[in-house]
Every structure is written in C-alpha cells, then in structure tokens.
A and B are shown apart, each in its own frame.
Chain A
Amino acid sequence: MNKLGAVIGFTYRNKTKTKSFRWTTLVLLMLLVVGLNIPYFIQLFSGQSDKDLVRIGIASGSYQQIAEQIKEAADKTAATKPAAANNTGNAGAAEVNALRGTGVTRIEWEAEPTDAAKLRQQIEAGKLDGYLQLQKPAAGETFPSITYVSEKNNAGVQAMLQAAAQTAKVRSVTSGQLTEAQLNEIGTPVSLTRVALDDMKGTDSKSGALTMENYILVYLLLILFFISLTMTGNMIASEITAEKSSRVMEILITSVSPLTQMFGKIIGIFLVGLTQMGLYAIVFIVHLMLPYYQQVLAQFDIHISNLSWEVAVLGLVYYVLGYFLYSTLYAAVGSIVSRTEDLGQAVSLLTVLTLAAFYIGIFSMTNPDSMLMKISSYIPFFSPTTAIVRIGLGNMPWWELTISLIILVIAIFIFGWLSAKIYRTGVLMYGKRPSWKEIRKAMKAYKI
C-alpha cells in the first residue's frame, strides 16, 4: 500500500512538473477562456451595449388609439417577463414608456413628433433609431398596416414590436368583447413539451431529464470522456514505454510488484487528468457564475438549476469506470512496446475503440433508444458513452443500468487481470514488438 502511494505520488509529481504538461494545460485554459468569452466579445464589438436602448417614435396618423395600445402592450410584455427584466444595469433610465424585451434591448418611445417626415429627419440626425408608421389597412381589414422604418436591421426589436402589435390587433379587432383575462390568455403562446412515456408511468423525479441542460451535459460528458481518455491513455502508455526504453524498468520490477506498479501509474495519471479537467471545470463554472454570463444563458432559456444530478453523478461513475477499463489496456500496450516510436501504431486499436464509443454516443443523441444503443450499453467498451446518452436523453430502466454497470465492473477486473499479466511479461521483453503468439509463449515461459 505504501509502495502504491509512492508510485502514485512519483507519477503525479513528475507528470505535472514537465514543461510540456504545463504548457498544454495553460494553452488549453487560455483557449477555453477565449472561447467562453466569445459571445461577450461579439456583443461588445457589435455595439450591443449601446443598443440596449432603442428609441422609437410612432407616426400614428389617424390611428392614435392603436398607437397607444401598441405602447401599452409592449409595456405589459415587459411586466410579464420579470426574470429577464432585472438584468440591465441602469434601471434608472427605464422611466418613460421604457420596455425591456429580451433582456438586452430596451425600447423607449418618443411621444413627439408624430409626423413621418420629421421622424425621418430625427433618424438622420441620430436622435432616433426608427419609427413605426401606421397606414391605411389592407382591403377588408380594420387594423392598420404597420411599417417599421429603421437604418438598422435589428431582428430582436422587430420581434418585440411585432408581438406588441399583435396584441394591439387582437384588442382592436375584438374591441371590448373579451375580458382582460381572456385577452391575456390569447396573448400567451401555447407551450408544447415532450415527456418520455416512461416518465409518465414512473415517479416525477425524472421529469426534468429531457431538458436542454441535460442535452448539453451529456454532450459535455461525451467530449470529456473522449478527450481525457485519449490524452491520459496515451500518457500512461508512453510513460510505461519510456520506463522500459530507459531501462529503469529493470530496477522497478525488482522493487515493486507489477500490479502495484501498473495501478499506481494508472491512478497517478488519472489524478493528473483530474487536475487538468478540474482546472477547466473551475474556469467554466466561474464563467457560468459571472452576471453577464447568466444573462447570456437566460437568453437561451438555460438554467443550471435544471441540470439533473442523476445524469451528472452517473456520468461521472461511468467516466471513472470507463477510464479504468481503457487505461489498463493502454498500460498493457505500453508494456509491450520497447521504443516510443512504435507506440503510436500499437495504441491505434485502442484509439479506434475510443472513437467508436464516442461516435456511437454522439450520433445517437437524437435517437437514444435505438437497438444499437440498447446493445451498446451492455458492451463494456461502449457503455460509458452510450449508457450516459440513454440515461440523460432516453430511458434506461434501473435494472438495465445495474446490469450495464455490473458488466462494466466485471470487464474491468477481467481486463485488469489480463493487462497485469501482459504487463509482467511485456516489461521483460525487449526488441521488436512481439506478436500475440510470442507474448503467450513468453507468459508460459515466465510462468505468469
């Protein structure tokens, strides 16, 4: 046990001390920070912050009443969206007829002038962003046709104006025949959400499982699995090959049992990977906590509180188990190869296996309950990705989950045992990469 700790500590310290490791981590961290801030920068450079206040006039003509109704409707929408309303910093400017729509844009209505020609002059002078022009309705209709005149093409503003106009239209056409409550109900959009059949039958604990947040979470878990596995797997294999080619292995195997050595290495590198991922996670979470980021998320209607803990926890369980399954094999491959140059070719089979697991998971995210997925979630090499897709986005009854996990754990023991055997044999074999037959022969000869 003491020796295992020594191997883990040594592996961890040496790996994290290398320049290459520090630089890759730093560069990836910087890329992550830049990537996470791209939305903010886009906002900054497109002058969005300046645009959160849009001044709009109305050339109402003879439709004074409808113009008032549009303004009023726009105000009401603002009131029904309180979550989005408290984001912009300068709430003091929200006095006269101010409206916050999507949380980024605010509309300020200008009462004067009401003449189209004067409004146009104001736009040219830069005092106004645009104006609505109410004109004679089309044949057979009573509601005036509305034009939005502006230099800028701002879809957000147009959508808000359209919604307000729509409300005004309903009011105008029904002209007092409906109660306020009825009008409100017409105003709210129909909500349509999909609920999986299983969730209807079962308890309500999983009802939040099909959210956008979980989709993103599953996606992130798959990417995490793939990237960290290829990275750490290759680290393990190359570390072992390096020990072999530098011949320090001869001393090591006479000091520690190969099993201790192999698992010490695997756990050590696992912690290295965890450190790296932890750093990324911290940067990620800090960003999510930042106020402006909350705003961006809110824009897409994403709320962290909607994340399913079940998916997150099971995802991590599968990730750790999957890691140990693959890493023992990477260790075995590393032990067979004597020179670092031959390593790439030797691990290619494992890379293909990882890729397959990743792609089956990614491409089945829209169709998580297919037969392929059901079968794959029992195959140890694929279950870390496919099971998590099924848990997060489809249904996976608890008994299937249990069986899948048990198979995975058994596979870890079988392949761990096999890898340890190969490792013991491999570290003593030098020269060209041995074939399976040669390894089997050597195993017999060494009585392993």
Chain B
Amino acid sequence: MRALLAFLLMLASAPVLAQSALPPAPYADRQIDDPALEKKARALMETIRCLTCQSQSIADSNASMAGDMRSEIRQRIMAGEQPEHIRAWLIERYGDWVSYEPTAAPILWPLWGAPVVLLLLGLLLLRGRIRKGKRP
C-alpha cells in the first residue's frame, strides 16, 4: 500500500530539473494559421542561431529561450513585420553571430571572392596546358 502511494505521488510530482516552470510561449510550438506566413517565419527561424545550444538554429532547439524567440518571431511576422527587419533587429542586439545568413560585410569579402579567384586561376592553368599541348 505504502509503495503504491509513493509511486502515485511520484507520478504527480513536477519535474525538478525543468528549465522553467512556465508552459512554452503561445507560438513557440504552434504554427501560424496562414501557411504563407508560417513559411516566411520558418525560413527565418532556420537561419537564427540558438543562444543556449549554440550550434543549433532556434527552429531545431528545445531550449526554452529558443521557444520564446520562435514565438516572438511568429508574432512579429503575424503583425506584418518583414523577416529581414527582424533579423536586423536581432543582429543589433547579439551581433552577426546570431544569424546563419552570411552578410556582405568587408570581413566576408574573401569568402565571396574566393570562388571567382579560384575559377580564374583554373582557367589560367588550363590555358597554359592547352598552349603547351599545341606545340609539336
């Protein structure tokens, strides 16, 4: 009898190690009713980095802060805000770090330039080879 009572009490107890006692924010795990808006929100959430689990996007993370950020983003999208405006707002607070989308900032110019430079180098190499081949 005692064991049964203890077992029932255990079932009723709240999880001790939960991150917080509150239920998730209204739009943390609920999609926007309008599929077009949800698609927009989803695309943005997949490129916003979670602050708690730092190698996940907030779309993938179960951290409660990521849930709060998803809810915030969905509510702003529903209010008519543009995704890029929300991204800029977040970058203003957390720096470029928070966005997975590469920007055109000067520090990233080598990233954008490298493919062009490598392609030109390849063409140059190819030209040299073809010329060499023509010689008897």
Are A and B physically bound partners? no
**Chain A interface residues (CB < 8 Å from chain B):** none
